[in-house]
Amino acid sequence: MQRMVSGIKPTGELTLGNYIGAIKNFVDFQEKYELFVFIADLHALTTIQDKSKLRKRIKDIAAFYIACGLDPEKATIFIQSEIPAHSQMSYLLECTSYVGELNRMTQYKDKSKDDSASIQTSMFTYPVLMAADILLYDPDFVPVGDDQKQHVELARNIAERFNSRNGEFFKVPEPVIPKAGARIMDLQNPTKKMSKSGDTDKGYILLTDNLNLIKNKIKSAVTDSDTLVKFDKEKKPGISNLLTIYSVLSNLTIAEIENKYTNQGYGNFKKDLAEIVATQIGKIQEKYNQIINSNKLNQILDAGLEKASKIAHKKIMKANSKLGLGRKK
């Protein structure tokens, strides 16, 4: 079975965008691939964190992975920082990377425009840690949103360079970008990706939101002066974003939804979508509440740690040997 690896950074509460753009796809992927998914807590340290909040979010994300449908019998779920090989491999890959290619990474370029002196070094080097997260497990595929493809390309470049210098060692993975729902947009500003850092809390839906609040956020989502339920990302970004959410959660095609609401306007469409979103998130919340304070969560993470650690440790030791480190036995 081919292998797939991915993770989510615990720097904020999970949104509907995280669920549709990442976690829901993981649930589908676990049926087709040997799936490794992790909580990328080391990546959270690129900015200063409240340690108590960070610990809570790490557990929350793990619980939400399972509540959203990840099956520990099919997917290996673990916490990145509990496996030292991630940090160790990151340093080895820094020795195979160039400042020029890291300078071109979008997030660093955006952050450095304001005040590069106040940016932590990890903000510059984190793409290499991301490459280590990937390459440690020799995956065939890495699922990413369209705005994250650059990171997989860097991992591929580093892997090919390492292999060229030291002989074949890393598998060079392919990015997988889901056809639908890869990038859910802000409900109030549909030109921006849905994020808790948006301009208003009406723009995002949290997986922990009250269900009535979720319905109200959908009903108040920005559309346009036209009342035609039609997908047109350029001219009608708001309604197109809502159509994408509707399609992913209902398993109906965009065309089927457009036909369903012909001559009905936005009112009925938004009302129905509000019920669909609230019902789905309600089911997730119920499962989350069952597992978050149970010992089952720790058992799942312990099992994931054991399996992932064996693979990662073996890979880092072989990488050390490839580079001439340590004592030859």
Active site residues: 111, 193, 196
| Nearest-5° Cα angle at 314, 173 to 170 | 25
The residue assigned the tokens 């065939």 is 140
| d(C-alpha 234, C-alpha 236), whole Å | 6
| d(C-alpha 77, C-alpha 30), whole Å | 11
SS3 23: helix
| d(C-alpha 246, C-alpha 221), whole Å | 13
Sheet architecture: strand order including 75-79: 75-79, 34-39, 3-8, 141-143, 174-176
Report whether 16 contacts 277 (CB < 8 A): yes
Closest CA to 105 of 180, 59, 158, 36: 158
| d(C-alpha 94, C-alpha 102), whole Å | 10
SS3 7: strand
Report whether 162 contacts 138 (CB < 8 A): no
| d(C-alpha 174, C-alpha 269), whole Å | 37
Report whether 75 contacts 35 (CB < 8 A): yes
User: Count of CB atoms within 10 A of residue 95's CB?
Assistant: 9
Report whether 181 contacts 21 (CB < 8 A): yes
Report whether 312 contacts 85 (CB < 8 A): yes
The residue assigned the tokens 């789905």 is 280
| Nearest-5° Cα angle at 268, 285 to 15 | 30
Amino acid code (one letter) for 82: E
